[in-house]
Amino acid sequence: MTFDFRQKFSAARAQDDKHFAALLLQADPLAEKLTSAQREQIIGGAMQCGIEVARKLGEQFSSAAPGEIARLLGLKIAEGEIAGKLVLSSYDANSATITLRRGLILRVKQWAAEEGLLPHFEIEELAIAHELFHVCESKDAGIFSRQFKVTLWRLGPLQNRSTIPAAGEIAAASCAKALCRLGFSPILLEPVILRSAGAESVEAWFDRLERAKQVMKDGCP
């Protein structure tokens, strides 16, 4: 059967944001350590965390655009490649710099416009909004994405506990959606990025989304 990207994308766009969050969580190497209750707690807590960060930024900076918020926070916006990952942006706390992968952003923007699958939005602002969450996250040790931990192993009184990296990504997507007032989850850009970059794994992305939905429904990994 021929893979119909438009049909798959349109169906995915109708999904609840929690399903996209479940997709990110399912890809986390530590997901197998989580119970069903912990999965639900992470997804709900991280999404709410992102919304709360967006609310605080909006109040502090009078609902300014993400790029302007970054400037007011004293952050640098640079352009460059991001080694090893097919992502639009990254944040380096040491240099207080948000790096935008301009070439990929332009390809995604052009492809999305040609296909007409998404309403108009400023993709650069969305990428910056995502990184603004990570800026706030790096400065707040009490934030949900840094507080929620899972026990990796126990040995008598000793134990090793770790945060769940996916929690920060779920929260960042939720924050970006709120800051940019989007009508869809930013995680839905992942297959667009894969498609515009000519990646062969785009069909597998939709399969993973369906599996993540099933995990949420069944309550098992």
Q: Report pLDDT digits (tens) over 69-103.
A: 999 999 999 999 877 778 999 999 999 999 999 98
Q: So what's the pLDDT on residue 220?
A: 53
Cβ atoms < 10 Å from Cβ of 111: 15
Asked, for residue 7, whether it belongs to a domain, the answer is no
Question: Please, are residues 79 and 89 in contact by the beta-carbon 8 Å criterion?
Answer: no
Q: In what order do the strands lie in the sheet with 76-79?
A: 76-79, 97-100, 89-92
Q: So what's the pLDDT on residue 79?
A: 93
Handedness of CA 70, 74, 80, 85 (dihedral sign): negative
Query: What average pLDDT does the structure give for the chain?
Result: 91
Q: So what's the pLDDT on residue 83?
A: 75
The range of the structural domain enclosing residue 140 comes to: 16-218
Q: pLDDT digits over 132-148, tens only?
A: 999 999 999 999 999 99
Q: So what's the pLDDT on residue 58?
A: 96
Q: Kindly report the pTM of this predicted structure.
A: 0.93
Q: So what's the pLDDT on residue 94?
A: 95
Q: So what's the pLDDT on residue 19?
A: 95
Q: So what's the pLDDT on residue 118?
A: 81
Q: So what's the pLDDT on residue 1?
A: 60
Asked, for residue 208, whether it belongs to a domain, the answer is yes
Asked, for residue 11, whether it belongs to a domain, the answer is no
Number of structural domains the chain divides into: 1
Residues 6+ apart with CB under 8 A from 92: 99
Asked, for residue 149, whether it belongs to a domain, the answer is yes
Cβ atoms < 10 Å from Cβ of 103: 12
Asked, for residue 3, whether it belongs to a domain, the answer is no
CA pair distance 128, 179, nearest whole angstrom:
10
Which residues of the chain are under the pLDDT cut of 50?
Answer: none
Q: So what's the pLDDT on residue 157?
A: 86
Q: So what's the pLDDT on residue 219?
A: 63
| Residue recorded with tokens 């040609």 | 114
Nearest C-alpha neighbor of 134 from the set 178, 107, 165: 165
DSSP helix/strand/coil, 151? strand
